[in-house]
Structure 1
Amino acid sequence: MKVIQKFKGTITSDPLGITKTWVGSDVCGNYKGFFCDTPPDNHSATAVASIDFNGFQLGAPTLQGFLDELPDLALFHANSNNFSGTIPDKILKLPYLYELDISNNKFSGAFPSVLLFPNNITFLDIRFNFFSGSVPSQIFSRQLDVLFINNNNFKAKLPANFGNTPVLFLSLANNKLTGQIPSSIGKASSLIEILFLNNQLSGCLPYEIGYLKGLTLFDVGNNRLTGPLPCSFACLDKLEQLNLAGNFFYGPVPEVVCALGNLENFTLSGNYFTEVGPICRNLISRGILNLKNNCVLDLPFQRSPIDCAMFFSRPRWCPFLQSYYTIPCKPSHSPRASTRQSKAPPLTHSSLIKHRL
């Protein structure tokens, strides 16, 4: 209780009157945002096990001396507050902390270095802050299930060990990342959803993406990527959402990719694709494939001939070009369902909104 009262004294803003409930000795019963449970190492005791400050709009210059002084804490969720400062180094000593959400706050500076050391965190959400600099290579070696770092000011290239990550859900969207997507991505076999959209990534897509057999969402919209769409995408049998809009991709749209049985949203608008076959045309007629603003002569809503001619007047080249026509599997697409079921939005797409997840 002393730790909480000390933290209460540092609060600079509390428009919802949350801290008015932080009085008396019954932390577990009366203190809004605090939840108690029995610690794993002492079943006769009760301690603060989780904190949910989501949407409280609290302001404080630091979490030092608070977050790191609750030894039995397992979850800390603080979306949509006005916290700043640095992440306390001593959180490494919290043996049960596995979820850390400080999204939509006022944190700034480099990627929090304390999070790069071995810890028990499996859910890390630092989106909608003001972090900057590079994304450290060490974070892709941490045993995370969820990593959301979107809507910050991260720059520089993605590290070569990018594919070492065991993450299931990864959002890098709305930063200023540059360079190519590392070919090591093909080793990130646990990936289910990944967002690269709205960065400054360039180069060609590595065909190794086709090794991500569990992938349901792949989004690289609004970057500076180019080259053909790798035929290896035909191996992504579980893929439901594929967005390559707003780049410089060109060439034919592979029919083997359009034949994927689970595609619900396939967006190629704003590129320079030139050919589309009958399977892909069927997706267009069904509202699944968006090919607007490309260079397909017999489709409506395409770029002007001058625009397309200017683009193709410059040499186009990708390394290991033959790999773009390689399919590292035997495609076995299930029949496409006749009706599309209503589903919850993908978790990574939900991360693009400031609210709590």
Structure 2
Amino acid sequence: MSLAVRVLLTVALTALFSASLTGYLSYRAASERVPRAFGVAQAPRGGGPGGAGPFAEPGGAMGASRALLAELQGATFSAAVIALVVAMAVGGWIALRASRPISRVAEVTRRYGAGERWVRAEPSGPTEVVALARVFNDTADRLQAEEDQRQRFTTDVAHELRTPLTVLKSELEALQDGLMQPDDETLQQLLQQVDLLGRLVADLRLVTLAEAGELTLYRQRLDLGALAREAGAAFLARAASAGVVLRIDAERVLVDADAERLRQVLNALVDNALLHAAQSTTVDVVVRRDGERAVLEVLDDGPGIAAQEVPNVFRRFYRVDASRRPGTGGSGLGLSIVAAIVALHGGTVDVLQRAEGGARLRVELPCAPDA
């Protein structure tokens, strides 16, 4: 049974019951009081001869009272019928007005389920239906955003895998055709492409597990400053060869975290900074405490990040134009891994611009209790 029919029947039955009850009570009261108004009374039992007492009903008054009661009964019935008709008309109008917006939402939902992902419900009608339509639209928008993200992800994976596979295929074909010799240099190039594929697959698995909350963390109390000094020391030779000064200013700050995962965060941040730093510039790694938060910052003197690029920096496979150059060897997942691992630790990561130029990547983590 549809909602409109239910509303209509409910209103009609309510009106019928109310009119019947009102008519019954009115007729009952009238049947007791109308005879009194006409001076008519029932003779008491055991009265005078012939059963007629001193208060016998006059014939004219008795007939008038009965006629009036009959008219009242008819009027009550007519009123009940009119009330029922009016109630059904008003109830039908209310039912249609209430059910049409719901029917429209139901139709939009059916079309959405049939594959028309662009349809949206019109938020009109009663407050509850408007709320329902808005919830549907918000849900549809989120699902569409997730679908767009999945499509971008598939496209990005295909693009990232295509480059090393194309290089491998062309070089192997050149070896097969005798255009290249299988010397150490050629084999080393092939191994580099294989390593790139391996890193891409490993990074992709890591960021997928982290974003899904399925990456296991082996937490322990550790000194974030000491970890930063250790990770930074591994980049000193690379920085020197690129003509970049790498400075580390890390104070002792204790956190409860997975040492290996935080090491990945540090490596990705320093690697990203060195990638964008020009010769004769400086990269700074800073660790300090700010209230109950441990702060890790990596600052560089590179070109910085444009404001329109900031929302996409931590997106998988996203690279700003300046870093799209051959030979970087990155998988495009470094900062995505940073964001996912930091989030698992209950922290935040932000990209800030430096007044003197360059970028500042800031990570905040909760300090260890009683640290």
TM-score bracket relative to the smaller structure: under 0.3
The normalised TM-score by structure 2 is 0.20
Q: Which of these two proteins has the greater Rg computed from alpha carbons? A: 2
Tell me: higher relative CO, structure 1 or 2? Use CA pairs within 8 A at least 6 residues apart: 2
Larger helix proportion of the pair: 2
The normalised TM-score by structure 1 is 0.21
